[in-house]
Structure 1
Amino acid sequence: MFRLEGSQSFDASHVNTWVAVSLVCGVQELDLFIRIEGRTDHALPRDLFTSRTMVVLKLGTGFVMNVPPSVCMQSLKILHLHSVELIDDDSIYRLICGCPVLDELSMKGCVGKDVHVIHIFAPVLTKLFIRPLVYYYHFDEVFKHKIALDTPALLYLELETDSVEGYLVKNLSHLVTVNIGIGYWPKAENFSDSVTDLFVGISSIQCLHAYSDFLVVLHQCNYHLPMFHNLTSLRLYMSGLAAWETMFWLLQKSPRLETLVFSNGSLLSPNRCWDQPQNVSKCLGSHLKVVEIFDLFEWEVYKEELKMVEYFLKNAEVLKKLIIHSGNLDFAVEKEKAKVKVLKKLLSFPRGSKVCQIVMR
């Protein structure tokens, strides 16, 4: 293993020499997280792309992946790229296709201005992390690009994007867990259709953690979603005026949901009244066992949030536990008295499940 990381800058010729020597010695793991003196576009030796021994390759920051026409890294299983510029569509495709046993891929800040489609074709890939991909980010210029996934063995996907124009997906039927935070691009051509295609592609998942503008995207896409028949665990970040309406609509699409977690503060926006859904989601009547809510009770919407919690208690017929993380109550002058008051109120609500426990933390 050869590892070089730190905040100091290194001479480009020295780095190339070290990499070349490590390749000759049959290095299996190469970790480079450094700065090159006076440069932000250092190209790595081409011999790197034909290494037969490399198993783990982790690169950052400021390297340029000048991918040659022929790539053969037959042993590479783990590839992490952090602020490494991939100069065009072909370079990304050649790099990933040249790693036939790649099992884990992480990309962050890897898109140059000439990249239009990030095409990830990896037959045995099981873990994929795609984080904000813009390499040079300016407030007055955002590089728009599409993500194309063809990963039939993928089990875990973490997708956090803020400048993606669309998605092209296929062969994602084995996915188990997805962590997703996507930004909304109303001016992107066919954005709603491509996002719908993404949701169709991940519809077989069992666990979903959604944050950022996820619910906003669903709302703007007119709720065109498939059924999530296998989804048992859902964690949501609530944001936007229509967040709770969209959330209940998502529950309608998740008939086997067992665990529902709200990962952030208020479930409702100020000046919004709780409007009870007309239909009770199937999962509430037969599968939902745990509801957990973090940082509940903004004082501006305190009464309305209580109505929503009451709805869950009344309609979740097999609920075993309601866990409340009081959050903003901690700022009350008499914190413990405030918690006791809220807990008494919760205990007074009718419950559809006789075995449900209410826990307040």
Structure 2
Amino acid sequence: MRNINDLPNDLLVKILSSVPTKVAVSTCLLSKRWGSVWKLISKLDYDDSLSDAPSGFIGKFETLVVLGLRKVSIDNVPPTTRFRSLKTLSLLDVWFSSDETVTRLLSCCPILETLIVHRWGRDKVKTFAICVPSLKSLTIRHRVGGYHEPRDDNGFVINAPSLKYLNIVDHFSGFYSLVDMPEQLKADIHIRHCDSEKLLGCLTSSKNLSLCLKPLEGAYPHGDFDQLVSLDLCVLCSLDWLNLILRRSPKLRALRLYQAREVHWSCRNSKSVRTKWEQPIASFVPECLLLSLRTVKWFMYKGTEEEKSVVMYLLKNGDSLETMSINFSESITLEERNQMNMELESMPRRSNRCQLSFT
């Protein structure tokens, strides 16, 4: 049987890549042959169970493609650190000593494409700046345990002109600044405290939007959503955004109305205020309702007067509408569902092609 020490480096690296990082690193104690092989692995998950300082430890790699850091502290990033091959970086509950430390770490990743950031409101970073020209996918989670007031001086600045996908769930930050947002962006935004109008104004070039926002408080954001074809909207907090976005989205094809509690997050905005939907002026019908909107799906429909008013408006004015699917809330009894079915079926429809379905 062949001795494992006789295997070529590329095969040993494949073996080490399939075991936990701590195990892979410990192989350096086996012999001189294994002393530096572990440094050639392309994927590294680093956590606080490793004794070496993270900045010094990860700086030993020039071959990493995927790097995950969890619950570690980074006080500084040596000027010689460079991740020339890194494409995916996860920062999960990482403690940074300053704003500059974050900037320095990200500047070491010239071809980074995917970044995942989970913050828990305990580090010393006030402005978490993400300036990565090559970045294509960005996921941000910012939460804290219990109830905490928002920090107006704590937030994110994002400058990523190549971004294709943006996912934010943030219940703590006080601000977001989106710079040079690209066209054809898919954005999934769930924020509690930030300036919703300003944030949405930076996303007018998005192709797909999923929104759970604070209710409208100030002036409407400038610009039209000329590229928007798909919209998901939380009815618990963001229903008052519906009229605005319909008026400014001439190419919208699919509309999905939902309650954020139905999926893996909950709507924090609705705990402080619920939005109200107002019937638009009858003399003006948004262009998308006349020409492009094909499908409407409503999840967790409860049949409130406000919800019925929205459905009636969409059916009455949706000249291009083909399907409307209603998913009833689990709290609705069978008798109530039957009654709602009859009410909805009896509503006038502008499009004779529109089919109603109930689940």
Q: Does 1:4 align with 2:20?
A: yes
In the other structure, the counterpart of 2:257 is 262
Cα distance in structure 2, aligned partners of 1:183 and 1:274: 20
1:84-123 C-alpha deviation (Å, 9 max, x unpaired): 1122111111111111111100000266542121111111
Which of the numbers 16, 20, 31 marks the counterpart of 2:45?
A: 31
CA contact (8 A) 1:85 1:110 kept: no
In the other structure, the counterpart of 1:318 is 320
SS at match of 2:313: helix
In the other structure, the counterpart of 2:234 is 237
CA contact (8 A) 2:61 2:83 kept: yes
In the other structure, the counterpart of 1:87 is 97
In the other structure, the counterpart of 2:241 is 246
Q: Does 1:55 align with 2:50?
A: no
RMSD: 3.5
Cα distance in structure 2, aligned partners of 1:169 and 1:104: 17
1:141 and 1:348, CA in 2 relative to 1: closer, same or farther beyond 3 A?
A: closer
Q: 1:129 Cα shift?
A: 0.6
* AA partner of residue 135 (structure 2): L
Cα distance in structure 2, aligned partners of 1:44 and 1:253: 48
* AA partner of residue 20 (structure 2): L
CA contact (8 A) 1:43 1:66 kept: no
In the other structure, the counterpart of 1:277 is 280
1:292-318 C-alpha deviation (Å, 9 max, x unpaired): 0011125xx3x4432321111110000
1:347 and 1:138, CA in 2 relative to 1: closer, same or farther beyond 3 A?
A: closer
**Which 5+ residue runs of structure 1 have no aligned equivalent?**
186-190
Which of the numbers 144, 148, 168 marks the counterpart of 1:159?
A: 168
Cα distance in structure 1, aligned partners of 2:183 and 2:29: 42
CA contact (8 A) 1:150 1:171 kept: yes
* AA partner of residue 132 (structure 2): A
Q: 1:61 Cα shift?
A: 2.7
Q: 1:290 Cα shift?
A: 0.6
Cα distance in structure 2, aligned partners of 1:292 and 1:340: 19
1:142 and 1:288, CA in 2 relative to 1: closer, same or farther beyond 3 A?
A: closer
Q: Does 1:342 align with 2:328?
A: no
Q: 1:265 Cα shift?
A: 8.1
CA contact (8 A) 2:118 2:141 kept: yes
1:21 and 1:201, CA in 2 relative to 1: closer, same or farther beyond 3 A?
A: farther
1:252 and 1:88, CA in 2 relative to 1: closer, same or farther beyond 3 A?
A: same
**TM-score w.r.t. length of structure 1:** 0.79
In the other structure, the counterpart of 2:308 is 306
Cα distance in structure 2, aligned partners of 1:309 and 1:153: 37
Cα distance in structure 2, aligned partners of 1:132 and 1:274: 29
1:44 and 1:246, CA in 2 relative to 1: closer, same or farther beyond 3 A?
A: same
In the other structure, the counterpart of 2:209 is 208
CA contact (8 A) 1:215 1:246 kept: no
Cα distance in structure 2, aligned partners of 1:66 and 1:15: 28
**TM-score w.r.t. length of structure 2:** 0.79
1:319 and 1:202, CA in 2 relative to 1: closer, same or farther beyond 3 A?
A: same
* AA partner of residue 326 (structure 2): I
CA contact (8 A) 2:239 2:275 kept: no
CA contact (8 A) 1:177 1:205 kept: yes
Cα distance in structure 2, aligned partners of 1:114 and 1:307: 48
Cα distance in structure 2, aligned partners of 1:117 and 1:15: 40
In the other structure, the counterpart of 1:294 is 299
Cα distance in structure 1, aligned partners of 2:149 and 2:306: 41
* AA partner of residue 233 (structure 2): L
